[in-house]
Amino acid sequence: MSEPIPESIPTSQDPRSKRPTKRRALTPLSEQANEIKTLFKDPSKEIRIPEPSKARTLAPPPEIIANVQGSSAGAGSGEFHVYKASRRREYERIKLMDEELKKEKDELEFNKAREEARRKDEEKTEKNRKKREKRKKTKGKKGKTGVEDGGEVVADQEMAANGAAKGTSADGVTGQEAKVDGYDNGEVPGVIIHDED
């Protein structure tokens, strides 16, 4: 804008212009909103949804090649283009075969990894289920002191009981020595934890 005259103002910014302002989509969200607004202007209008793209296929190579050309210097200038076209078709065919092979290999690897993950999940779930069942079984069977059966404490209690019958404590201390330490013959030192679930 060199001069403040009406001719120097761009047409898009001129207030006298009757031309509609350009609406540009600033974000993907506004672009999608604009498309939806356009579709809702005329709901009776049929919407054309494009068909999905088809997989590329090529014609199989010919069974018999009558005229075998090469890229040698002896070939004529017209034969060069025929050779190039046949070479391009062959390279395209090989490329498609490689892509198909890679796709099959990737799908096989994916299925194998998915099956392995599913198997690991099932093993972990089964292991946790067994732990829960074992916990439920042992929770119902509590000892005299409230400690669950199946642990080392129970074994120590049994040793202490056997020791009391023989006159020794769980530590192997006899009669008076056990009382001096502050324990009776059948008592086991340690912490008793009560689960209140």
In a domain, 168, yes or no: yes
Q: Taking the CA atoms of 75, 80, 84 and 90 in sequence, report the sign of the dihedral they define.
A: negative
Give the closest residue to 14 by CA, choosing from 4, 23, 24. Answer: 4
Distance of CA 94 to the CA centre of its chain: 33
In a domain, 135, yes or no: yes
In a domain, 2, yes or no: no
By residue range, what is the domain housing residue 96?
75-140
Task: Report the pLDDT value the prediction gives residue 150, as an integer from 0 to 100.
Answer: 46
Task: Report the pLDDT value the prediction gives residue 49, as an integer from 0 to 100.
Answer: 84
Q: Are the beta carbons of 6 and 14 closer than 8 angstroms?
A: yes
Task: Report the pLDDT value the prediction gives residue 159, as an integer from 0 to 100.
Answer: 54
190: left (phi over 0), alpha (psi -120 to 50) or beta: left
Asked whether residue 150 falls in the same domain as residue 127, the answer is no
Give the closest residue to 193 by CA, choosing from 163, 162, 148. Answer: 148
Place of tokens 């006298």: 16
In a domain, 46, yes or no: no
Q: Is 110 helix (H, G, I), strand (E, B) or coil?
A: helix
Domain end among 140, 156, 190: 140
Task: Count structural domains, the chain.
Answer: 2
Task: Report the pLDDT value the prediction gives residue 142, as an integer from 0 to 100.
Answer: 63
How far is Cα 15 from Cα 48, in angstroms, rounded to an integer? 39
Asked whether residue 91 falls in the same domain as residue 133, the answer is yes
- pLDDT tens series, the chain, 197 aa: 467 676 777 766 777 777 766 666 678 888 888 888 988 998 888 888 888 888 777 777 677 777 665 556 556 677 778 788 888 988 998 999 999 999 999 999 999 999 999 999 999 999 999 999 999 999 877 654 544 444 455 555 555 555 544 444 444 545 444 454 555 556 666 777 777 75
Asked whether residue 107 falls in the same domain as residue 157, the answer is no
pTM above 0.75, yes or no: no
How far is Cα 173 from Cα 163, in angstroms, rounded to an integer? 9
How far is Cα 57 from Cα 99, in angstroms, rounded to an integer? 12
Q: Is 142 helix (H, G, I), strand (E, B) or coil?
A: strand
In a domain, 23, yes or no: no
Asked whether residue 119 falls in the same domain as residue 172, the answer is no
Give the closest residue to 159 by CA, choosing from 178, 186, 128, 190. Answer: 186
How far is Cα 35 from Cα 28, in angstroms, rounded to an integer? 11
